[in-house]
Amino acid sequence: EDEIFAEIRGRIKEDDIDAPLRKGQYYYYKRTLTGKEYAQRCRRLVPTDGPVTVHDEMPAGPDAPAEHVILDENLKAEGHDYYSIGAFKVSPSGKLVAYAEDTKGDEIYTVFVIDAESGQYVGQPLKAITSDIEWAGDDNLVYITMDNILRPDKVWLHKLGSDQSDDTCMYHEKDDTFSLGLHASESKQYLFVGSGSKNTSFIFYLDIPNQSKELAVLTPRVDGIDTTASHRGNHFYITRRSEEFYNSELVACPLNNVAETTVLLPHRESVKIQDVQLFENHIAVYERENGLPKATVYRLPGTGEAVGQLQGGRAIDFIDPAYAVEPEPSQFHSNVVRFYYSSMRTPPSIFDYDMDTGVSVLKKIDTVLGGFDVSNYVTERKWAAASDGTQIPMSILYRKDMVKLDGSDPMLLYGYGSYEICIDPTFRGSRFSLVDRGFIYVIAHIRGGGEMGRNWYEDGKLLKKKNTFTDFIACAEHLIENKYCTKEKLCVNGRSAGGLLMGDVLNMRPDLFKAAVAGVPFVDVLTTMLDPTIPLTTAEWEEWGDPRKEEYYYYMKSYSPVDNVKARDYPHILVTAGLNDPRVMYSEPAKFVAKLRELKTDDNLLLFKCELGAGHFSKSGRFEKLREDAFTYAFILKALGMMTPTTASSL
């Protein structure tokens, strides 16, 4: 473990800054320091008042405006085993900062407001809230609190300087299958409060310039209709999904008549609208087609003009066969959209793109040390046929001078497949401790995720959940049949709902794998979903089913990993947990391991590792987090008999 950890850490440029973002009078950025676990939140004055362009560079050197450290997370983390900043929000004037911190890993936050220059606290902290906070002008904060099962259920208005007990509750969501969320429009003119379940959502808005203290309805609650909102000029822009328009459509409505909608992008069967980003004169639309993300920018009519169907979009080109693209915070009053790009072999990159000219400028690419050379690696995209004939995409990474592709290469196959989450093939430096040892690394984009559109998700949930597991097995069998590996060299990994996947495929096909890693796995499905007093249970019934209904009870029982462990041989297994995990309580993986120890008939490794000072997302420090990868990879190497003496002694 120590040897692998040293390798992983050795690839990181420890003293670094991210791509500065110009907002108002300042450039804002994070800085990391050699040997330090956490970042500093910094800013530097913008020396000129010119417009934002793709060629903007933050000045540096002795003549540049001085760097100012707003918040040093390393100082705040002292005395805590866990420390995480969930939100960092600068006030409209730039004079104040509100930040949310979690010191246990239980995702219950405390919010502090500080003077951005002096660092002095302003007012009293706001306690026991979510990480959703937004400014409503310079004097007010809007935030969300949770009920006793950690469901975000109330949105509050707080006036700086007043006591939290005097805050105004703006809305209380009493339906325990719905949870609240909060975000600000890119224009900063409106706050949007969304209440949503897995299938339905509706939106309120708060008018900031008019100093409104009450929420107004933007989209009403209609079962099966899901909406998200943003704002520009005289219109709200709404992404709307329904049973008929399952991949979503984009519409606009006037501020003074929200019932009057105009379709900007119609629903398409093969293209899913993932996200939109609005600007003063443009809109950037992020979509998915054939399992891959895409981004297109459009110029919008003047703010006083009528809106209509978007025409003449400019598509942004990407080079890898499989990759990830995500929107980044950008300047609303500019023609520059910023986005994140990476692939399994391309380090995380930040680009600024001129939406008028199509010029793209690389602003930052993460430096990877340790002799990393992108030309040594190959990424591929392959498809496996599921048991019902559905084609399942896979993203593949390997080092071209170290693999034979004759079945003799070791492999780590990763899967998730739940909540419509897309597991895109992003870069992760720690993987190369396996890939540089000759491993092939594969992501199976199985049903239950969102990679291939909304129906991909619908076909892997509720009474179709087993498609997730059989898809993964089909991918494994395809890789073996096509000589990427053999059963004796195939290791598998999944986390959280992906840990459920691991539990199921181990029960269904224990003969297919040499080793499995189940991270914070959701494995006691039936017991958990029968107990509405457990965090998240009621909100999860639309994902897994309500086992109080007979049909769901027996279906869930047929795949719940704890309920299907049998007296048989299992491969080498590592199971992890977090003591403070509010999403998957540590008792679930512990129960699974106990059941395996009682019944399994082999002498293979079965390890249970519980982090005592962390929650669902492992430890919080940037180096501490890498220990989990190092331990996982050391376990895999041991299972395959590939450990060196130094690696073996540290496991």
Residues involved in catalysis = 496, 581, 616
- Distance (Å, whole) CA 397 – CA 201: 38
Are the CB atoms for 523 and 583 separated by under 8 Å?
no
| CA atoms within a 13 Å half-sphere pointing along the CA-CB vector of 329 | 15
Cα angle, residue 410 at apex, residues 406 and 413 outer, rounded to 5°: 110
CB 104 within 8 A of CB 118: no
d(CA 466, CA 556): 10
Please tell me what DSSP assigns to residue 463: G
3-class secondary structure, 480: helix
What are the backbone dihedrals phi and psi of residue 206, each rounded to the nearest 5 degrees, phi first? Answer: -120, 125
DSSP per position, 416-444: ---TT--------GGGHHHHTTT-EEEEE
Written as one letter, the residue type at 528 is: T
The rounded distance, in Å, linking the Cα atoms of 455 and 244 is: 11
Burial class (CB in 10 A: 0-12, 13-18, 19+), 148: exposed
Residues 175 and 169: their CA atoms lie apart, in Å, by 16
Give yes or no for a contact between 170 and 142, defined as CB atoms under 8 angstroms apart. Answer: yes
Closest CA to 346 of 428, 424, 401: 428
Cβ 392 vs Cβ 474: under 8 Å: yes
CB 473 within 8 A of CB 509: yes
How would you classify the pairing of strands 262-265 and 271-278?
Answer: unpaired
User: Which token pair is 385?
Assistant: 């046929």
Side chain identity, residue 268: R
Q: Report how far residue 287's alpha carbon sits from residue 434's, in angstroms, rounded to the nearest whole number.
A: 32
Q: Is 336 exposed, middle or buried (0-12, 13-18, 19+ CB in 10 A)?
A: buried
**Residue 549 CB-density burial (10 A; 0-12 exposed, 13-18 middle, 19+ buried):** exposed
Paired tokens of 358: 């199509």
CA dist list (Å): 614 to 141, 418, 421, 599: 29, 23, 23, 30
Q: Is 132 helix (H, G, I), strand (E, B) or coil?
A: strand
Tell me the C-alpha distance between 614 and 104, whole Å: 6
Q: How far is CA 403 from the centre of its chain?
A: 31
Three-state SS at 563:
helix
Q: Residue 475: how many CA atoms within 13 Å on its side-chain side?
A: 32
CA distance 446 to 435: 22
Instruction: Give the integer Cα–Cα distance in Å for 329 and 352.
Output: 11
Candidates 502, 493, 500, 495; CA nearest to 528 is: 500
**φ and ψ of 578, to 5 deg:** -125, 130
Say how far apart CA 328 and CA 351 lie, in whole Å.
9
d(CA 262, CA 353): 28
